[in-house]
Amino acid sequence: MKHLNVFFITAMLLGNSPLFSQVGPPPGVFLDSVYATVKITTDITYGSNKNFFKNNQVDTLKLDLYEPDASVNYLRPVIVYLHAGGFTTGDKGENRAVKLGNYFAKKGYAFASINYRLGSNVFPDTVDNYQSVYQITQDAMSAVRFFRKNWLNYCIDTNTIFMVGSSAGAAICLTVAYWDQDEADQAFDTTPFGPLDQASGNEGPTSSVSAIVPCWGGMPDTSWLQNETEPAYLFHGTADNIVPYVYGLSFNGVNLHGSYNIHHQLLANGVESYLHPFVNAGHGVPVNSPQYDTLMMLITPFFYDHLSPAAGSSSCGFTGVQADEAHQIVFEQAGPHQDAYMINRSNQEQEVELDWISLEGKIMRSERIIMAPGQRQVVETELYADSLYLLRLRCGSSSQVFKLIAGS
Question: What confidence score (pLDDT) does residue 35 get?
Answer: 96
Enter the pTM of the model.
0.75
Cα distances from 162 to residues 27, 141, 151, 198, 294, in angstroms, run 22, 12, 14, 18, 19
Tell me the per-residue pLDDT of 264-308, one tens digit each, with 9 for 90 and over: 999 999 999 999 999 999 999 999 999 999 999 999 999 999 999
The CATH code belonging to domain 23-304 is 3.40.50.1820
Q: CA–CA separation, 266 vs 284, rounded Å?
A: 22
Tell me the per-residue pLDDT of 6-47, one tens digit each, with 9 for 90 and over: 333 333 323 332 222 334 688 999 999 999 999 999 999 999
Question: What confidence score (pLDDT) does residue 326 get?
Answer: 47
**Number of alpha carbons in the 13 Å side-chain half-sphere of residue 4:** 25
Q: Give the residue with greater pLDDT, 240 vs 19.
A: 240
Please determine, looking at this structure, whether the domain spanning 1-22+315-408 carries the CATH number 2.60.40. yes
Domain ranges of the chain: 1-22+315-408, 23-304
Tell me the per-residue pLDDT of 200-224, one tens digit each, with 9 for 90 and over: 999 999 999 999 999 999 999 999 9
Question: What confidence score (pLDDT) does residue 128 get?
Answer: 81
Q: CA–CA separation, 158 vs 78, rounded Å?
A: 8
Do the two domains 1-22+315-408 and 23-304 of this chain adopt the same fold?
Answer: no
Question: What confidence score (pLDDT) does residue 361 get?
Answer: 61
**Average pLDDT score over the chain:** 84
